[in-house]
């Protein structure tokens, strides 16, 4: 009941001169009525300022200390998860980096006795290159698969850093998917593609290099970009209609984007680099291209997921409003 209604109850009714009830309510003067209204208003204001404490434990005020404590615990749990993820990522990066550097620098460790530091630094690059050529002769497909797997993993890591993620907060599952595609498909398929390209263009005329570049940037680029998007979508457990929609929307933009980079690089690929060494050169350029590929693929996936979440939320709200 409001203050105005309480004051109305205590307002004196007009006197009737010719009738007076036997049990009539005592009349008050105007000054007494004003005092009582001020008293009632003061009591009502005091009641409004007092916090209402419910005995029901399920009904809590949002500003209660227990709620703040729970929020603090949730934030602490989230911070702990982030720190653990950073530690795992840092361990992976530093571990593989230390392993690779150690293997490269200690290739001549059996012959270091009596060598100076200058001799070690001088022969390490040359002997690593010789070891790489020997691995190509022994098992060319596996060697190229390993190189492509490393390059595609590093390329996706660069893509995630370019998208704004801190250097040790990358998505491990996404990086693993990209590296897996590079290892299982790009290395092996590229090995056979470059041999096929030499079979299709066995000539030595001046036009052969531009013809190979044109074939690479139309037929092979279209095939490989499609394989990359489809396999990544399958590894993310996306549905086939969603994968097809993403591929359809990104096919032409990705093909034309490659024309800004690859024709110039492939003039060296097909004009200078020998067949067995082409994938190594291409993989060096792939660090840039995989960054673009991974960014395109994951942007489409994230935008599609956000659209699905917004559509689900809107449909839920519309159903609640109908109910």
Q: What string of H, E and C letters represents the secondary structure of 21-38?
A: CCCCCCCCCHHHHHHHHH
Question: How far does the chain reach from its first CA to its final CA, in angstroms?
Answer: 32
d(CA 286, CA 279) in angstroms, rounded, equals 10
d(CA 103, CA 43) in angstroms, rounded, equals 84
DSSP per-residue string spanning 233-265: HHHTT--HHHHHHHHHHHHHHHHHHHTTTHHHH
Question: Do the Cβ atoms of 283 and 151 come closer than 8 Å?
Answer: yes
> Could you state, in order of their start, the residue ranges of all structural domains in the chain?
1-14+29-47, 81-138, 140-304
Other Cβ atoms within 10 Å of 190 Cβ, number:
23
* pLDDT tens series, the chain, 323 aa: 444 454 444 444 444 444 444 444 445 455 555 545 554 454 444 444 444 444 444 433 444 444 445 555 445 557 788 889 889 999 999 999 999 999 888 888 888 888 888 888 889 999 999 999 999 999 999 999 999 999 999 988 888 888 888 888 889 999 999 999 999 999 999 999 999 999 999 888 889 999 999 999 999 999 998 998 899 899 999 899 989 988 888 889 888 888 988 999 999 999 999 998 999 999 888 888 877 767 666 665 566 556 665 666 565 555 656 55
Query: Does the reported pTM lie above 0.95?
Result: no
Cα dist. 254→192, 223, 238 in Å? 23, 12, 20
């Amino acid at each position: 009941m409001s203050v105005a209604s309480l004051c109305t109850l205590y307002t004196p009714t007009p006197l009737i001169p010719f009738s007076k009830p036997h049990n009539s309510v005592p009349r008050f003067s105007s000054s007494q009525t004003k005092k009582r209204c001020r008293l009632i208003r003061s009591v009502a204001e005091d009641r409004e300022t007092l916090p209402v404490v419910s005995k029901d434990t399920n009904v809590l005020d949002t500003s209660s200390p227990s709620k703040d404590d729970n929020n603090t615990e949730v934030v602490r749990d989230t911070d702990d998860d982030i720190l653990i993820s950073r530690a795992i990522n840092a361990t992976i990066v530093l571990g593989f980096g230390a392993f690779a550097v150690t293997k490269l620098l200690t290739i001549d460790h059996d012959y270091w006795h009596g060598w100076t530091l200058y001799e070690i630094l001088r022969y390490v690059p040359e002997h690593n290159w010789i070891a790489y050529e020997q691995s190509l002769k022994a098992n060319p497909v596996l060697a190229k698969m390993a190189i492509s797997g490393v390059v595609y993993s590093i390329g996706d890591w660069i893509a995630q850093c370019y998208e704004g993620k801190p250097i040790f907060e990358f998505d491990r599952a996404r990086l693993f998917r990209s590296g897996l595609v590079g290892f299982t498909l790009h290395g092996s398929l590229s090995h056979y593609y470059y041999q096929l390209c030499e079979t299709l263009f066995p000539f030595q005329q001046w036009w052969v290099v531009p013809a190979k570049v044109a074939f690479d940037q139309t037929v092979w680029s279209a095939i490989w970009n499609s394989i990359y998007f489809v396999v990544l979508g399958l590894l993310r457990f996306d549905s086939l209609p969603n994968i097809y929609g993403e591929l359809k929307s990104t096919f032409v933009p990705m093909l034309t984007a490659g024309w800004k980079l690859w024709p110039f690089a492939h003039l060296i690929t097909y004009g200078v680099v020998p067949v067995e060494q082409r994938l190594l050169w291409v993989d060096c350029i792939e660090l840039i291209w995989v960054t673009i590929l991974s960014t395109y693929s994951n942007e489409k996936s994230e935008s599609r997921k956000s659209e699905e979440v917004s559509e689900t939320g809107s449909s839920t709200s519309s159903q609640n409003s109908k109910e």
